[in-house]
Chains A and B, each alone.
Chain A
Amino acid sequence: MEEKLSFEYAPAPESRALVTIKPKYGHFIGGKFVAGSKHFPTINPATEEVLSQISLAGKADVDAAVKAARKAYTTTWSKMSGKERGKYLFRIARIMQERSREFAVLETLDNGKPIRESRDVDVPLAAAHFFYHAGWADKLEYAGLGTTPKAHGVAGQIIPWNFPLLMLAWKVAPALAAGNTVLLKPAETTSLTALLFAEVCQQAELPAGVVNIVTGDGSTGALIVNHPGIDKIAFTGSTEVGKIIARAVAPTNKSVTLELGGKAANIIFEDAAIDESIEGIVNGIFFNQGHVCCAGSRLILQESIADEVIEKLKNRMAKIRVGDPMDKNTDLGAINSKEQLLKIRELSAAGDSEGAQRWSAPCDLPGKGFWFAPTIFTGVTQAHRIAREEIFGPVLSVLTFRTPQEAVDKANNTPFGLSAGIWSEKGSKVLWASQQLRAGVIWANTFNKFDPTSPFGGYKESGWGREGGRHGLSAYLKGVSHE
Chain B
Amino acid sequence: MNFYGLVDGTEASLKKYMGSLSGVDQVGADARAAMLGTRSIKTTSKRWAIDTAISMVDLTTLEGADTPGKVKALCTKAVRPDPTDLSVPSVGAVCVYNDMVEIARTHLDLIGGKHVGVAAVSTAFPSGRASMAVKIQDTKDAIEAGASEIDMVIDRGAFLSGRYIEVFDEIVKIREVCGTKAHLKVIFETGELVTYDNVRKASFLAMAAGADFIKTSTGKVAPAATAPVVLVMLEAVRDFYAMTQVRIGVKPAGGIRNTKDAIKQLVLVNETAGPEWLKPSLFRIGASALLNDLLMQRMKMDDGYYASPQYVTID
Contact = CB atoms under 8 A, between A and B. Distances in A.
Name the residue among A3, A271, A274, A319 with the largest chain B CB count within 10 angstroms. A274
Contact of B40 (A8, A275, A276, A328): A328
A5 interface: yes
Interface string A249-293: 000000000000000000000011111100110000000000000
A6 B270 CA distance: 9
Contacts of A6: 48, 275, 278
Contacts of B39: 9, 328-329
Contacts of B32: 275-276, 279
A445 B32 CA distance: 13
Nearest to B32: A279
**Which label, helix, strand, loop or mixed, suits the secondary structure of the B interface?**
helix
A10 B28 contact: no
Nearest to B271: A319
Interface string B146-179: 0000000000000000000000000000000000
Contacts of A280: 28
A328 B38 contact: yes
A342 interface: no
Given A275-B235, A280-B28, A329-B40, A5 B22 contact: no
Contacts of B40: 9, 12, 328-329
A3 B42 contact: no
B157 to A, nearest CB: 26
B270 A446 contact: no
A120 B49 CA distance: 25
B41 interface: yes
B31 interface: yes
A341 B28 CA distance: 31
B27 A446 contact: yes
Contact of B23 (A3, A7, A273, A328): A273
Interface string A441-472: 00001100000000000000000000000000
A88 B145 CA distance: 73
Given A275-B24, A276-B24, A279-B31, A10 B45 contact: yes
- The binding surface of chain A is classed by DSSP as loop
B278 A273 contact: no
A10 B22 contact: no
Contact of A279 (B28, B46, B48): B28
Contacts of B41: 9-10, 12
A441 B68 CA distance: 64
B10 to A, nearest CB: 26
A3 B275 contact: yes
A10 B38 contact: no
Nearest to B232: A275
Contacts of B43: 10
Nearest to B52: A7
A8 B45 contact: yes
B64 to A, nearest CB: 38
Contact of A7 (B38, B235, B266): B266
Contacts of A328: 38-40
B25 interface: yes
B235 A5 contact: no
Given A6-B275, A7-B275, A319-B271, A273 B24 contact: yes
B44 interface: yes
Nearest to A328: B40
Q: Which residue, of B25, B32, B39, B270, has the highest number of chain A Cβ atoms within 10 A?
A: B25
B29 interface: yes
Nearest to B238: A315
Interface string A301-323: 00000000000000000010000
Contacts of A11: 42
B215 to A, nearest CB: 21
Interface in A414-442: 425
B84 to A, nearest CB: 26
Contacts of A12: 40-42
A367 to B, nearest CB: 23
A280 B43 CA distance: 32
A298 interface: no
Contact of A273 (B28, B42, B271): B28
Given A6-B278, A7-B45, A445-B28, A120 B38 contact: yes
A3 B270 CA distance: 12
B2 to A, nearest CB: 24
A116 interface: yes
Contacts of A272: 22
Interface in A218-238: none
Interface of B: 22-25, 27-29, 31-32, 38-46, 48-49, 52, 235, 266-267, 270-271, 275-276, 278
Interface of A: 3, 5-12, 116, 120, 271-276, 279-280, 319, 328-329, 425, 445-446
Given A12-B40, A319-B271, A446-B31, 6 more contacts: A7-B266, A10-B41, A10-B42, A271-B23, A273-B24, A445-B25
28 contacts: A3-B275, A5-B270, A6-B48, A6-B275, A6-B278, A7-B52, A7-B267, A7-B275, A7-B278, A9-B41, A9-B45, A10-B41, A10-B43, A10-B44, A10-B46, A272-B22, A273-B22, A273-B25, A273-B28, A276-B29, A276-B32, A279-B28, A319-B271, A328-B40, A425-B22, A425-B23, A445-B27, A445-B28
Q: Which 7 pairs from chain A and chain B are nearest by CB?
A: A276-B28, A12-B40, A276-B25, A273-B25, A328-B40, A10-B45, A274-B22
